[in-house]
Amino acid sequence: MNTATKPNHIGRKISRIRELRGMKQQTLAMELGVSQQSVSLLEQSETVEDEKLEEVAKVLGMTAEAIKNFSEEAVFNIVGNTVTNHDNASLFAYQPSFNPVDKLVEAYEENKKLYERLLAAEKEKMAYLEQLLNKK
């Protein structure tokens, strides 16, 4: 094997994909029905049996072929080529389908009604307690 070429370390690829998905080893282990230590060993393995790779791929929501062909450099290139520092303001523009002021007024009205009900309940409780005190 030529030392200039990187080995296709499947375990490392599984680890990196799992991390990019925000998944912990323990979660992957539970989904596979194995221990966390087994996942750790799997991620340290340069090669993984096809059947096991299929299981892992299913849990990670991709194909075994996608894991084999995964390239972190490709991910960064895609992100770098699609997100620039300009011209993307429209991607993040928030256009609600309702009037926010109307929603605030609505929430205020609901809170006002709730406050009035609570106040009425407190007044009833006070009247009841006064009634009890007057009986003594």
Quick one: 102 and 70 in the same domain?
Answer: no
Whether 5 is covered by a domain: the verdict is no
38-83 pLDDT, tens digit per residue, is 999 999 999 999 999 999 999 988 888 888 888 766 665 555 555 5
Quick one: 28 and 72 in the same domain?
Answer: yes
> What's the domain range around 19?
10-84
Q: What is the mean pLDDT of residues 129-135?
A: 90
Pick the most confident of 3-7, 88-92, 95-99.
Answer: 95-99
Whether 128 is covered by a domain: the verdict is yes
Whether 127 is covered by a domain: the verdict is yes
2-36 pLDDT, tens digit per residue, is 445 456 899 999 998 898 888 899 999 999 999 99
Dihedral class, residue 33 (left if φ above 0, else alpha if ψ from -120 to 50, else beta) = left
Whether 45 is covered by a domain: the verdict is yes
Whether 89 is covered by a domain: the verdict is no
Q: Which of 63, 84, 105 is the last residue of a domain?
A: 84
Quick one: 75 and 49 in the same domain?
Answer: yes
Quick one: 63 and 116 in the same domain?
Answer: no
Q: Between 28 and 89, where is the model more confident?
A: 28
Quick one: 74 and 136 in the same domain?
Answer: no
Q: Between 129 and 73, where is the model more confident?
A: 129
**Number of separate domains in the chain:** 2
pLDDT of residue 1: 46
pTM score of the predicted model = 0.53
pLDDT of residue 108: 80
Q: Which distant-in-sequence residues (6+ apart) come within 8 Å of 57 by Cβ?
A: 63, 64, 66, 67
Q: Which of 81, 65, 74, 84 is nearest to 20 (CA)?
A: 74
Q: What is the CATH number of the domain that holds 20?
A: 1.10.260.40
